[in-house]
Structure 1
Amino acid sequence: MKFLKHPAAQIGGAAVLGIVFGLIVGDWAGNIKFVGDLFIRLIQMSIVPLVMTSVIVATGSMTGSGMGQMAFRTFKWMIGFSVVAAIVAWLLGTAIQPGAGITFDGGVDPSLSDQAGAATGWQATILGFVSTNVFAAMSSAAMVPIIVFSLLFGVALNSYVSKTGNRAVVDLLDQVQQVVLTMIRFVMHLAPIGVFCLLAPIAGEVGIAVVTTGLKYLGATLAGVLIVTALFVLVVWLRTGINPALLPGKLTEQTLIAITTTSSAVTFPTVLKNTIEKIGVSQRVANFTLSVGLTMGSYGAVLNYMLVVMFLAQSGNVELSVGQIFMGMALAILLNMGTITVPGGFPVVAMFLATSLGLPFEAVGLLIAVDWFAGIFRTFLNVNGDTFVAMMVANANGELDKDVYNGTKLVSAEDVNVAALEAQFAKADAAD
């Protein structure tokens, strides 16, 4: 009975019931679609204030790390593999077509018509990144101009705080962000009802294809995770010369914790301990790269976010332009890198991506329904990807002890200061 109180179990149960109900009653299920649409709108209305406050607070609070070459190497590998994850997701989305089975005739949501217009030249596209009236951009949910404004505002606020020491505006916006997050938590209590009322009409309209489509989406996510993991291992092998056959045994413990908890934060102490004691990365490198990786090394999230873009476009019969594909990749990477911090869970991320790229929302309910399974795949890659990056940074710094890796030397890791990493834990769990 305790399991049934878990939100993921409730949403999963509601999804199954919604599909069964829709298959039984057929087109009549369309009469309850408005309840699902209401749930989506409740999430939608929080996107703009949440993104603005998150970006401004994150940018306005930034301070230099002063870690020099090690920081450069860490960020280089994290950004590089984030790009690889996004490209792999695009290729898989194009090949597998996970959203093609439930194509809707309604097309793009009318509120996004301005953003979904005909493609323009690259000059006009870049010009459109900057709005002449940020309030107009907010009212039409034009996310890219909002993000640009928020980044510039955050940089200016950071400069102001550095000169004056006055954090009043940062603290105020941080409190606004927390209030908006509380709103989203309230809305998410309605998620089982919302998912039921979103999936029942879809099942009634398209039939059993809704099930096969969800499986194709999960299959594409799993395939992407395996491909990116294989690429990681290949690069680690070529760069470090270690025996890759030993890796599975060294990563088993953290992998099991990751896939059973779907939480990078919960897995972090085990990852840190294993990376030092089983892999041979120095304490100094592990502390830095793994801590940064909590919020900036979510490669599984990048892969999944780009697949969401492909899925929503295909389900709405929207042909993505080259510009939209690159923008989707950029947004997925920025979400991962923490520049655009959108806490609140997967539904908020999915709605943010749909709104930013002018994609239809009808199939979001199906993505929410299967997200617990997608979260397992995301967390697997997020957690192990951080260890791989730590190995490459340590090797470049001469701080990868191959005797430890080969099991001929024993070392002990220091205890983790959990309290000091509380903020990173929260962001990591949002990506998972």
Structure 2
Amino acid sequence: MKTLTHPAAQIGIAAIAGILFGLIVGEWAANLKFIGDLFIRLIQMAIVPLVMSSVIVATGSIAGKGTGRLALRTFAWMIGFSIVAAVVAWGLSVLIQPGVGMVFDGDIDPTLEESAGQATGWQDTILGFVSTNIFAAMSTATMVPIIIFSLLFGAALNNYAGRTGNTLILSFFDQLQQVVLTMIRFVMYIAPLGVFALLAALAGDVGLAVITTALKYLGTTALGVVILTAVFVVVVTVRTRLNPAKLPRKLAEQTVIAVTTTSSAVTFPTVLRNAVEKVGVSPRVANFTLSVGLTMGSYGAVLNYMIVIMFLAQSGGMTLSVGQIVLGMGLAIMLNMGTITVPGGFPVIAMFLGGTMGLPLQAVGLLIAVDWFTGMLRTFLNVNGDTIVAMLVAKASDDIDRDVYNGTKVVTAKGIDTAEYEKSFARADSAD
């Protein structure tokens, strides 16, 4: 019975009930759609202040720790793998077409169709990234200009705080972020009701296609995880010349914890210990690379976010231009890299991506309903990808002990002060 009190379990039950209800009553279920729309609007209402405060705090809080060759190698591998994840997600989405089949009888918002159909030159697209009036951008939730403004404001705030030692403004935005997060937690209490209404209306509209589409979405994500895992293993084998057959046993413990908890934060102490004691990465490299990876190494998140973008576009019958695809990849990677921190869970992120890209949001409820399963896949790749990156960084500076990896030498990792990583834990959980 304790399991039933878990939010993910409640949403899952509501999703199944909503689909069954919609299939039974048919088109009448559309009368419930306003409840789901209200749930979506409550989340959308918080996105602008949340994104602004998160970007400003993330940029304004950057310290001098992230310098030197160690940091450069860490960021290079993380960015490189993130780009690969985004490209794989796009390729699989084009090949499998997970959103195709969600044919809606209701009209898509005309403004979305109009904005999607407008073809502008790349110069106009870049100019559109910068708003002449940030308050106008905020009022229309035009996210890219808001992000650009927040990045510049955060950088200026970082410089100001460094020169004067005055962190009052930074503290204000940090507190604002926490208040908005609390507001989102309040909204998430009605998530089961919102998901029930959304999926009931969706199932009543499209019928059994809602089930087959959910399986295609999950299958696309799972296949992406398999491909990226293979890429990780091939790269680390070529670079380190270590026996890849020994990796599964070394990663087994953290994999079980990651999949069962769907939390990189909960898995982090095990990952850090295993990197030192089982893989042979030096404590110096493990501490830095894995702590950075906790918030910046969410390769499973990049994969999933790009699939979400393609899924929403396909479900609305929209064809994305090359520029829109590149923008989508950029947003997915920035979410991963911590530049845009959107805590509050997958519903906020899905609607942030859909709203920013001008995509129809009718199928968001379906994505939310199966997010527990995609969360398992995301966390699996996030956690094990971080270990691979730590191995690659350690190899470059000769900080990996082959005797430990081969099992002929025993070392013991020091205890971990979890309080030190409290903020990183919160950000990591938002990506799982």
Q: Do they fold alike, i.e. is TM over 0.5? A: yes
Q: What does residue range 268-287 of structure 1 map to in structure 2 within 5 Å?
A: 268-287=268-287
Question: How does 1:335-346 map onto structure 2 within 5 Å?
Answer: 335-346=335-346
Q: Deviations 1:296-329 (Å, cap 9, x if unpaired)?
A: 0000000000000011001111111111100000
Return the offset for 1:191: 0.4
Deviation at residue 232 of structure 1 after TM alignment: 0.4
CA contact (8 A) 2:35 2:197 kept: yes
User: 2:127 maps to which residue?
Assistant: 127
Equivalent in the alignment of 1:83: 83
* Partner residue in 1 for 2:151: 151
Q: Does the Cα contact within 8 Å between 1:306 and 1:332 map onto a contact in 2?
A: yes
Using the TM superposition, give the Cα deviation of residue 170 of structure 1 relative to its aligned residue in structure 2, in angstroms: 1.0
CA distance in 1, matches of 2:71, 2:216: 38
What amino acid sits opposite 2:144 in the alignment?
V
Q: Does structure 1 conserve the Cα–Cα contact (< 8 Å) formed by 2:39 and 2:187?
A: yes
Runs of 4+ in 1 over 4 A off after TM superposition: 105-108, 110-115
CA distance in 2, matches of 1:351, 1:118: 22
Confirm whether residue 162 of structure 1 aligns to residue 162 of structure 2.
yes
Q: Does 1:192 align with 2:195?
A: no
Residue 300 of structure 2 is matched in structure 1 by 300
| Residue type of the alignment partner of 1:136 | A
For the aligned residue pairs, the C-alpha RMSD in angstroms reads 1.2
* Aligned residue type for 1:134: I
Q: 2:86 is paired with a residue of what secondary structure?
A: helix
Letter in 1 for 2:132: T
Code of the residue aligned with 2:87 in structure 1: it is I
Q: Deviations over 1:354-386 (max 9, x none)?
A: 111000110000000000000000000000000
Of the structure 1 ranges 75-84 and 169-178, higher mean CA displacement relative to structure 2 is found in 169-178
Residues 66 and 188 (structure 1), Cα distance of their counterparts in 2 relative to 1, 3 Å cut: closer
CA distance in structure 2 between the partners assigned to 1:216 and 1:156 by the alignment: 45
Match of residue 73 from structure 1:
73
Q: CA deviation at 1:109?
A: 3.6
1:411 aligns with 2:406: no
State which drifts further: 103-112 or 287-296: 103-112
Contact 1:343 1:427 in 2 (8 A): yes
3-state SS of paired residue (2:409): coil
Give the corresponding residue for 2:360. Answer: 360
2:243 corresponds in structure 1 to 243
Q: Sort the Cα spacing of 1:167 and 1:280 in 2 relative to 1 into closer, same or farther, 3 A.
A: same
What is aligned with 2:118?
118
2:101 maps to 1:101: yes
The C-alpha deviation readout for 1:68-87, integer Å capped at 9, x for no partner, is 11110000000000000000
8 Å CA contact 1:107–1:317 kept in 2: the answer is no
| Distance (whole Å) between structure 2 residues aligned to residue 66 and residue 263 of structure 1 | 24
Q: Is the 2:104–2:206 Cα contact (8 Å) retained in structure 1?
A: no
* Partner in structure 2 of residue 219 of structure 1: 219
User: Which runs of 5 or more structure 1 residues have no equivalent in the other structure?
Assistant: none
Secondary structure, counterpart of 2:101 in structure 1: helix
- C-alpha distance in 1, partners of 2:417/2:273? 12
Query: Counterparts of 2:352 and 2:193 in 1: how far apart (Å)?
Result: 21
- CA distance in 1: counterparts of 2:418 and 2:56, whole angstroms: 26
Distance 1:329 1:340 in 2: 13
Compute the displacement of 1:104 (Å): 2.6
CA distance in 1 between counterparts of 2:80 and 2:116 reads 30
Q: How does 1:310-349 map to 2 (within 5 A)?
A: 310-349=310-349
Conservation of the 8 A alpha-carbon contact between 1:263 and 1:429:
yes
The Cα shift of 1:262 comes to 0.4
Range that drifts further, 60-69 or 258-267: 60-69
Amino acid at match of 2:70: M
Residue in 2 that maps onto 1:234: 234
Correspondence for 1:7: 7
Query: Counterpart in 2 of 1:140?
Result: 140
Q: How far apart in 1 are the matches of 2:44 and 2:24?
A: 30
Check conservation: 2:37, 2:198, Cα contact below 8 A: yes
Aligned residues: 432
Identity, in percent, stands at: 71
Query: Contact 1:103–1:314 (CA<8 Å) still a contact in 2?
Result: no
Once the two structures are TM-superposed, the CA of residue 142 in structure 1 deviates from its matched residue by: 0.7
- SS at 2:229's partner residue? helix
**TM superposition shift of 1:24:** 0.4
CA contact (8 A) 1:57 1:173 kept: yes
Deviation at 1:32, TM superposition (A): 0.7
8 Å CA contact 1:115, 1:142 repeated in 2: no
Task: Answer yes or no: is 1:374 the counterpart of 2:374.
Answer: yes
1:226-276 per-residue CA deviation (whole Å, 9 max, x = no partner) reads 100100000000000001011111111100000000000111111111111
